[in-house]
Amino acid sequence: MLLPTRLRSWVRNLAAGLAAASCLTLSVEALAADPTPKTGGALEVVKLAWGPGASWDFAYAQHVDLWQRFGLKIDMVEGANGAALLSFLGSGEIQTATMAPSAMIVANSIGINLRVVYADASTTKLGLYANPASGMTADPKTWKGKNIGVAKNSQADYALRWSLQKAGLKPSDVNMVVLAPPVAVPAYQRGQIDGYYVWDVWGARLEASGAKLVQKAVDVGFASSSIWTMTKEFLAAKPEVAARYVAALNQANIEMRDALAKGGADAEVVYAAIVKANGVDRAAAEQLLKAQPPATLQTLLSADSPLSFTAKSGLLAQIEQQARIAVEAEAIKQMPPSAQELIAPRSLLDAALKVKPSH
């Protein structure tokens, strides 16, 4: 629930957002031919929220201080996570955040206008991490009656529901225990849950505690991703800054891919960034990056990528699938009028490709 002070601010921002909505496409398409920041100019501040997950690009950019090369200064707002995240976005206290499509869908259903501006990686390690002693396997029928933790209305929640439905089961056939990721690991260690359905980084932490990944959501037709969203109001007001931010993420992914391909000391810089940001060990960082490699803008513009901004089988399909499950779970009342409108226009990505970092 929004705090009273933030609620008042959110209402004001909502009104402004309705006015800005009609000019979003125009603003983004009206970007200068070269939105590259001017040398020696003042840094543009971007306020954001980030949490452990597959946003490798952000972790790397922070680690090597990439932002200044794009004329940006990052203000990571403390406490803008979990349930508080949407109130921070709605009040305008932050302009961008990393999340899953599920959270973005819920935000838009309550009037917080978010658009996908980047996709970091396909989260192919989203799945059920189970206690080997529980007897749970990839077959959801072995999950009946088990205590399975999940973060409510998360991408993992919807993947669990999808998996059960595909097996002819209902959510009530398992004991779904609502737990945020930070408390799920100790709950698992204390034996309070038999398993936890979660994404990559938290899965790695569970594996360090003895859990096994017994089912991956992607194997049962539930593709998932880590995305960056930005408020529609910020996109309309500062499209050139948005383009620079997207360009910085792209550059981080390019540098990471190159470094991992080279190996040696170059690759170790990447692993160190992931270890530091996500609280996993070196081996887990290498495994995660191999399973969920960094995605560049070229990946997002490719028609055959599950992260594609241009193909109906890409991010659009993920948003539509998760929106349908959100309706069934009563997280939202109805499907978004247009899933395509929840993805930033192609012109933003094209503008980002024109941005050249300073050296």
Q: What is the DSSP string of 237-295?
A: H-HHHHHHHHHHHHHHHHHHHHHHHH-HHHHHHHHHHHHHHHT--HHHHHHHHHHS---
In sequence order, what are the beta bridge partners of 119? Answer: 227
- What's the whole-model pTM score? 0.88
Q: What are the domain boundaries of the chain?
A: 4-122+225-354, 127-220
| Nearest alpha-carbon partner for 209 in 178, 228, 181 | 181
pLDDT of residue 78: 75
CATH of 4-122+225-354, one of 3.40.50.620, 3.90.1200.10, 3.40.190.10, 2.60.40.10: 3.40.190.10
Query: What six digits make up the tokens of 144?
Result: 């009946």
Residue 99 per-residue DSSP state: E
- Three-state secondary-structure class, residue 37: coil
> What residues of the chain score a pLDDT lower than 70?
1-40, 79, 81-83
Q: Which two tokens stand for residue 155?
A: 């991408």
Confidence at residue 358, expressed as pLDDT on a 0 to 100 scale = 87
Assess whether the region 4-122+225-354 and the region 127-220 belong to the same CATH fold.
yes
What is the rounded distance in angstroms from the CA atom of residue 118 to the CA atom of residue 319? 14
The pLDDT score that the predictor gives to residue 38 is 62
pLDDT at 229: 96
What pLDDT score does 52 carry? 82
- What the block records as the tokens of 166 is 């595909």
Q: What is the pLDDT of residue 21?
A: 45
CATH number of the structural domain 127-220: 3.40.190.10
Predicted pLDDT at 85: 87
